[in-house]
Amino acid sequence: MKFDTPAQQNPIDQLKVVGKPLDRIDGRFKTTGTASYAYERHDVAPNAAYGFVVGSAIAKGRVKTIDAAEARAAPGVLAVVTTLDMPRLPKGQMNVASLFGGPEIQHYHQAIAVVVADTFEQARDAAARLKVDYDREPGRFDLTAAAGAAPLVGGDSDEGSGAPPVDHVGDFDGAFAEAPVKLDETYTTPDESHAMMEPHTSTAAWEGDKLTVWTSSQMITWGKRDIAKTLGLKPENVRMDSPYIGGGFGGKLFLRADAVLAALAAKVADRPVKLALTRPLVANNTTHRPATIQRVRLGANHDGQITAIAHESISGNLKGGKPETAVSQTKLLYAGANRLTSMRLAELDLPEGNSMRAPGEAPGMMVLEIAMDEMAEKLGIDPVEFRILNDTQVDPEKPERPFSQRQLAQCLRQGAERFEWSRRNPTPGQRREGRWLIGHGMAAGFRNNLLVKSGARVRLDNQGVITVETDMTDIGTGSYTIIAQTAAEMMGVPIERVVVRLGDSDFPSSAGSGGQFGANNSTAGVYAACVQLRDAVAQKLGFNSSEAIFADGQVHSGHRSVPLAQAAGTDGLSAEDLIEYGDLAKKYQQSTFAGHFVEVHVDAYTGETRVRRMLAVCAAGRILNPKSARSQVIGAMTMGVGAALTEALEVDTRHGFFVNHDLASYEVPVHADIPYQEVIFLDEVDPISSPMKAKGVGELGLCGVGAAIANAVYNATGVRVRDYPLTLDKLIEHMPQPV
């Protein structure tokens, strides 16, 4: 199905099933321990051996020798495969660093061996017996030191965020020089880890020259393509399966060492092998969100109208890697005739920087929205009103291109009313309750809507059961449920009569899970397949498909009504299609918007910050399931608390690795850190987006939250911290004197 004209009235608009806050289909399997995660596939790969991955102890250089004799002789060991046993394997299309093979070391904890044994403990013990000799080379591990020589580099996150190396609109320099009110500040954000609950895990088995990998992957099509390329296999000889994934946040978007090494180990051991990357390898061997140094300059008239806006960012990555596209949202979010954005990329020898939830916008909004708060204070204008004053309904760089929907002002106004923003004291450091300083902060939220073709197969059996098959994944986001809701709505059956099968590369290729594009696109693909199935049913029953009504398990046309199951016959019916998009995304800017409001309490004696209240008001097209959508937003808001207050991968700039590479020292928020979180969705449909008239919402809940917290901390204390995270050591020396 080609979607190249705005959606009209269609069966989804009935909203009998779609749009309802239904419980997640997968919830009972996860809470009862019966969901099949990659490391637990005893059902399909019995008697699997255990693999243990060994990472490099240097960040740059070469492996001279690996003495594996003692490891091979250890109890229970079945095989040892080292990086010196083979030349460097070809990289997948999405990989920057090599995953295995050859002596060269590009980053710390790059995989250099995998040990296979009968038990995990035996594999781990044998791995410790490897004797490795290296030639260490000096590396570049400090972004601040490398920033001065970083060249201008453009980039695209492949998730809707991107910018050229430098972009000028109007005359920024002249407008900024003439502006009566100016802001010029520099901000930093740290390296961050995905820290998902389930680490990178895979179970691999061979049958002749055919490989099956049960793995934890967000994007099955990408994973199958790249493991075939890396191992030199025909794509038709590879099957990848990920029915359940315990979180990803972008860290599982593409092929990682766990899948490659499980496959290599299984081949050598002649037995299924399962392995999981240890937490240090999740941080150092896989990918992370790169640190940034960002400069924002704003110029405005005394009335608050922005006349000049510039956002410049520097990030670092391995050679061949991309920049963190932190300036992307600044190209679109606020009006202003004179504009400048630029990105620089320093070449570093740290582990690979790549997509992490809302790449680009997440760290970019953390900075831009502090700058907007600072500018509002300089102008003496309320921060909410300052943003509304500079709202725009068109792309500020391409005024001929309107937004398909843009309710940012409505999000901010409704949020301000709900949060009782008018009660906020605009003078910092004035509200106290005992030892606690109280502050309120807000920020806009912004995330682009990305359109990706997505396919599905839909079957109808003679019991009237609808089965949906697509390689779309569920990373804890509710994909099973919204896909079932879509099929139920289209085919006129209760959701209990729909079976959803996901994550298998033998199924039609989908959009996959990432960049908040999964829900809208995967359900649109199911919609397209259901349109085909409806036509097949109508034809089988002798109905005019344009007049047939599917409801309550029946197909109605005129005075006739026939059970849906009757159309299936003995063999059933099936249909397959995909959603493809025309040029509507070129004619209209498609984005999602939010207003984030936060209350914090800061201990006047210690600088300890506690978040006490959070509100997000979101405009993100049709909400397919308010319950699962709310879960996505509050999860993202929680991630924003971590980014603002605790999360930072600490770089050892002598040896080039992340020191706090486990969940004991990389501090993510826990239940005690998170207060009541309220989420409001504006009533919105976007017919420009897809037949579902939906958009994504998973990243939107993160974009802007960090800045809202930072702004609230400033309102509480009068201390402006521009270096994330806002740990108490950055506050305590500047705190107002306790009463």
Q: Where are any strands of DSSP class E within 301-409? A: 306-317, 338-347, 394-395, 398-402
**506 is written with which tokens?**
């033998």
Summarize pLDDT for 273-296 with one digit per residue, the tens. Answer: 999 999 999 999 999 999 999 999
Question: In order of start, what are the domains of the chain with their CATH numbers?
Answer: 2-35+451-586 (3.30.365.10), 401-446+590-739 (3.30.365.10)
160 — pLDDT class (breaks 50, 70, 90): confident
Q: DSSP E strands: which ranges in 569-640?
A: 573-581, 591-603, 609-619
CA distance 338 to 335: 9
- What pLDDT does residue 444 have? 98
- For CA atoms 696, 697, 703, 708, the dihedral sign is positive
Burial class (CB in 10 A: 0-12, 13-18, 19+), 551: middle
pLDDT (mean) for 90-103: 97
Q: Alpha carbon 630 to chain centroid distance?
A: 16
DSSP 575: E
Model pLDDT, residue 296: 99
pLDDT band at 37 (very low <50, low <70, confident <90, very high): very high
H or E stretch at 479? helix 479-491
Q: Would you call 706 helix, strand, or coil by DSSP?
A: helix
Is 81's pLDDT higher than 70?
Answer: yes
In this predicted structure, the answer to whether residue 737 has a pLDDT above a threshold of 90 is no
Q: What are the tens digits of pLDDT across the range 345-369? A: 999 999 999 999 999 999 999 999 9
Q: What is the pLDDT of residues 179-208, one digit of tens each?
A: 999 999 999 999 999 999 999 999 999 999
Asked if residue 36 has pLDDT above 70, the reply is: yes
Share of the chain above pLDDT 70, in %: 100
Residues 6+ away with beta carbon under 8 Å from 208: none
Quote the mean pLDDT of the chain. Answer: 97
383-411 residues labelled b (16+ CB within 10 A) or e (exposed): bbebbbbbbbebbbbeeeebbbbbbbbbb
CA 79 and chain centroid, separation = 36
Candidates 655, 550, 597, 720; CA nearest to 12 is: 550
Per cent of the chain over pLDDT 90 is 98
Q: What is the pLDDT of residue 739?
A: 66
CA distance 439 to 379: 20
Tell me, what's the pLDDT at 728? 96
* 207 tagged catalytic: no
Query: What is the DSSP annotation of 307-333?
Result: EEEEEEEEEEESTT-PPP-TTGGGGTS
Catalytic-role residue among 104, 580, 699, 733: 699
In Å, how far are 114, 543, 642 from 562, measured between CA atoms? 60, 10, 55
The yes-or-no verdict on residue 666 having pLDDT over 80 is: yes
How far is CA 456 from its chain centroid? 22
Q: Give the pLDDT score at 509.
A: 98
